[in-house]
Every structure is written in structure tokens, then in C-alpha cells.
Amino acid sequence: MKSIKSVLVTIVAALSIALVFFVNVKTACATPSPTVCVQDPVTLNYITWNTATGAYTFQECSTKGSPIMGAGQVKLVDGIQYLTDNKSTIKLSAAFLTGQLTGKATVNLIVAKGITQTVSINATMPGMPCACIPMMESASGSVSILVFLGLVLVWFAWRVFSVRRPASNS
């Protein structure tokens, strides 16, 4: 009889394969990269930026609009990557904690004189894919929710099973 751990590992592996091959969602890379990602696990809105050049892409997934691209100022202070941009059409500030792989961002889109739209991003889950999860049509309309839950399950299993426990001296 299989243990619960081996069954969970099998389920997680199957979900990972399905997500990569059938949904084509970009997975997070554990190696150091000059590009960081701050994605909200609830709204799925995200911002990515190159820590060397300041080139960024902001995507508001809920509106399914085109991504907004630009270049801001970057700096690294005490292990926190910062991005700021202050232009006539957009004002943003973002921070990425390199040790925790989490972060926050506030994007103010200036729609017209005196009219702004504020988008807040609170990235609390490391390893989000920094992509809008495709909205797939189905009879129940729940496929995209299942894909998101699959991502959460993969992340949870990685966190649980990657923790090394010391061997017991019995």
C-alpha cells in the first residue's frame, strides 16, 4: 500500500506535467536572473522588471488589456530590488525582497488630467509564473480556477517536501 506522501508526490508531478504541456504557463526559475517578478496571487496582476536596465512590463490580468511597458529607475538596497517610474502617464513604485522572493507594487495609471486608476500588487507567494492564467471556456466555467488551484498545490507541495528534516537517532 502506497504512503500518503508518495501519492501526493505523484499527484503533484501529474499536475505539473499537465500545467506545462497543456496550459503552457511559464514556471518560475530558481536560478538568479536579472529579471524579477511581483505577482498578486489573488488578482494575478503582475509587474516584471530587469534589475540592470529598469525595463518593465506591467499587466493587469483582470482587464485582459495590453501590457504596459516602460523603463524606470532601479536600485538594490539591503537585499531589496526597487523600481520607480514617474512619467506623465504612469507613476509606479515596486519592491522585491530577494531573500523571500515576495514583494509589493503600486501602479498609478493616469487616464486623463486629474483621473487616475490605482492598481496594488501584493506578491505573497514566491514562484508565481508572472503570466495571466489563460481563461479557458468549459461547460462549468471552472477550468481556469482548477489551473490556479493546481499551481497553488504544486507550490504547497514544493514547500512541504523541499524542507529537509534531520534524521532521527532511533
Q: Which helix (H) or strand (E) holds 58?
A: strand 55-59
Per-residue exposure over 50-88, b if at least 16 CB sit within 10 Å of its own CB, e if not? bbeebbbbbbbbeeeeeebeeebebeeeeeebbbebeee
pTM value > 0.85: no
Report how far residue 57's alpha carbon sits from residue 45's, in angstroms, rounded to the nearest whole number: 11
**What would the grid cell of residue 158 be?**
514544493
Question: Where along the chain do its domains lie?
Answer: 1-25+134-155, 30-124
**What would the grid cell of residue 113 be?**
488630467
Task: Give the model's pLDDT for residue 132.
Answer: 85
Task: Give the model's pLDDT for residue 106.
Answer: 95
| φ and ψ of 43, to 5 deg | -85, -20
Task: Give the model's pLDDT for residue 168.
Answer: 61
Question: What is the DSSP annotation of 117-156?
Answer: EEEEEEE-STT--SSPPP----SSS-HHHHHHHHHHHHHH
Report how far residue 35's alpha carbon sits from residue 57's, in angstroms, rounded to the nearest whole number: 11
Report how far residue 168's alpha carbon sits from residue 170's, in angstroms, rounded to the nearest whole number: 6
Sign of the Cα torsion 109, 122, 32, 131 reads negative
**What would the grid cell of residue 121 be?**
500588487
Mean pLDDT by 10 residues, the chain (170 residues): 60 55 38 78 92 94 85 95 94 94 93 90 89 55 62 74 62
Residue keyed to cell 507567494: 125
